[in-house]
Structure 1
Amino acid sequence: MDAWVVARPGPITSRPLERTRLPVPAPGPGEVLVKVEACAVCRTDLHLAEGDLPPRRPGTVPGHEVVGRVAAGGPDTVRLAPGTRVGVAWLRSTCGRCRYCRRGAENLCPASTYTGWDADGGYAGYLTAPEDYVYPLPEDAPAEKLAPLLCAGIIGYRALLRCDLPAGGRLGIYGFGASAHLTAQIAIAQGATVHVLTRSAGARELAVTLGAASAGGAADSPPEPLDAAILFAPAGELVPVALAALDRGGTLAVAGIHLSDIPALDYRRHLFQERTLRSVTANTRADGRGYLELAAAYPPHVATVAYPFDAADRALDDLAAGRFEGAAVLVR
């Protein structure tokens, strides 16, 4: 099968992705083999390619927002028959035994593994995944529109839970890419007032089109104090900006897996009056199921730019340069 691998992690201009031929993998016990229809391009893939996220194995195939069909099941698979349309997401496996797993926080499992990092992902014709971590998907939606839901949607949903937005509250969203534009729509559907702060004029226009109450520059002050905020941009310098915009008792959730250095915080301006700063780490399967159920109840507008499979390197380069709004998706 054709596949893209991270051959030499480094700046995207150094072309760290390399196209190659690999054997079709065989599903192991409890795994399914999935034939890929589409795979969205995530900023985490960019971090992996550039080395911000250290590779865990040489020659990894990136991609963890995969839509496809079960081609075969390995030993002990019982739930997903061949032909079933499925989604493969970031979380690949957890131990199920540690104290984090036992208390429902499997996203914190020290033995957790991840699609497109610990095991080959969706920048290929096929991939394998544990059946218990694969999501059944509807038949009636285009693969291009479903793929971003599997990470951008799910992680945005977890970030929304982590920011403790009260019912009918005022939410600030910093950065407005693939995850943010999906999260904003869920928050608006649930009655929130959403203010978007982002450097991209095109993203500001998209935000207003999707129902945001306002859209300003990344370092601007929102028109009213915020009950909660989510930082999607991997820019640590925006942490104090967002904290300063919070009302008393507000919470800022940082959604990315990688963040540049955070400047020094001023306790009284940024944290006093019980403002809270939280990180977001991966997701649980319950988050995935919860978000996909919400997306079925409130179908989002998914802004996508389709790239052919053989242009994966160009898609990552365009993501790094901010040349599109929404989500890039590799389609086969």
Structure 2
Amino acid sequence: MSLLDAAAITPEVPLMKAMVLHATGEALRLEQRALPAPGPGEIRVRVEACAVCRTDLHVVDGDLPPGPLPIIPGHEVVGIVEAQGEGVDTPALGTRVGIPWLGHSCGHCPYCASQRENLCDAPAFTGYTRDGGFASHIVADAAFCFPLIGFDDPVAAAPLMCAGLIGWRTLKLAGEAQRVGLYGFGAAAHLIAQLCRWQGREVYAFTRAGDEGAQQLALSLGARWAGSSGEAPPVPLDAALIFAPVGALVPLALRAVRKGGRVVCGGIHMSDIPQFPYSLLWEERQVLSVANLTRDDAHEFLALAPQAGVRATTHVYRLEQANDALADLRAGHFQGAAVLVP
């Protein structure tokens, strides 16, 4: 429904605003809708902030397999619980919560039964298969929302809901690596760099050639070295974490890691990995991928982030400027994370 159609809704019906994707490759449309009621097991949240993730670009641009349309994107959501569905008593009304990418898991497939709900056979994803946070309100599965006690700035907290959580899961797959390379120094890398330094790891940042802004941000956050992705680091790396959706970075990262090192791909989408010689993989180097997140990942990271003093560098846009935020992210016009505020 467009804003012009809003008159068809009687004044007694509460309304919400949303930026809606009707077809991949098209701009989002600002719409008004009747305020939804939460169903059993759900809560309705008044959105305070929603960060803009590169995965949102993949949804809007059609890089991912087609999901249901129309859809409201956005999966790095922070807001206040204002209504509870049947059977919900927590999170309580008035609680600030975070809503992540994984919006639901079936709970009974082999993956869920083995504590790998990130690989669930019948999942739901916020902003992709169920409406997300590019809106003034969102309905979410209460069991997949996280109370944000002590997170007093919703804008700063929003990027933690995906850039932070996926970054944390990616870092976990690096194991005990002490020298960690971060390829693509955007929203996720600039958060995980802070956590690495708090843990006593060495950080080496790789950016697009000539991106002095990203390199300076990395150095300001404690990186030992910052350079372009095509450069060799000054020392062999124990692990390389790839956050940029560029398959050509995989062989570059393999060249940069030591024998037995790991290359972890942290994105949901990546361009094709080019052919490379087996010698880059030999000597027990590993290439791993990260898929989604688990609620345990969220609880771990949200407990560690305040201790480590993790703080997001943010650029605020009004909800109505969602298309501008996506375009700026696509073009690399800012450092850190874009955040929409209704």
TM range (shorter): over 0.9
Scaled by the length of structure 2, the TM-score of the pair is: 0.93
1:147 matched residue in structure 2: 158
Q: Does 1:300 align with 2:310?
A: yes
TM-align CA RMSD: 1.0
Query: After superposition, where does 1:23-102 map in structure 2 within 5 Å?
Result: 23-102=34-113
Report SS of the residue matched to 2:339: strand
Q: Distance in 1 between matches of 2:188 and 2:233?
A: 20
Q: Distance in 1 between matches of 2:105 and 2:165?
A: 17
Q: Does 1:278 align with 2:291?
A: no
Q: Distance in 2 between matches of 1:228 and 1:155?
A: 16
**Cα distance per residue 1:247-278 (max 9 Å; x no partner):** 0000000000110010002101x100000000
Q: Distance in 2 between matches of 1:243 and 1:211?
A: 23
Scaled by the length of structure 1, the TM-score of the pair is: 0.96
Structure 1 residue aligned with 2:200, among 191, 204, 225?
191
1:118 matched residue in structure 2: 129
Structure 2 residue aligned with 1:221, among 220, 232, 250?
232
Q: Is the 8 A contact 2:183 2:242 kept in 1?
A: yes
Q: Distance in 2 between matches of 1:108 and 1:139?
A: 30
Which residue identity is paired with 1:2?
Answer: K
Deviating more after overlay: 311-320 vs 98-107: 98-107
Structure 2 residue aligned with 1:312, among 307, 322, 327?
322
Count of aligned pairs between the two proteins: 325
1:264 matched residue in structure 2: 275
**Cα distance per residue 1:284-322 (max 9 Å; x no partner):** 000011000000211212100011111011000000000
Give the Å deviation of 1:120.
Answer: 0.3
Task: Give ranges in structure 1 of 5+ residues lacking alignment.
Answer: none
Q: Distance in 2 between matches of 1:138 and 1:223?
A: 41
Give the Å deviation of 1:55.
Answer: 3.4
Give the Å deviation of 1:138.
Answer: 2.5
Q: Distance in 1 between matches of 2:332 and 2:226?
A: 18
Which residue identity is paired with 1:260?
Answer: S
Report SS of the residue matched to 1:249: strand
Report SS of the residue matched to 1:22: strand
Q: Is the 8 A contact 1:163 1:278 kept in 2?
A: no
> Could you tell me the percent identity over the aligned residues?
48
Q: Is the 8 A contact 1:165 1:228 kept in 2?
A: no
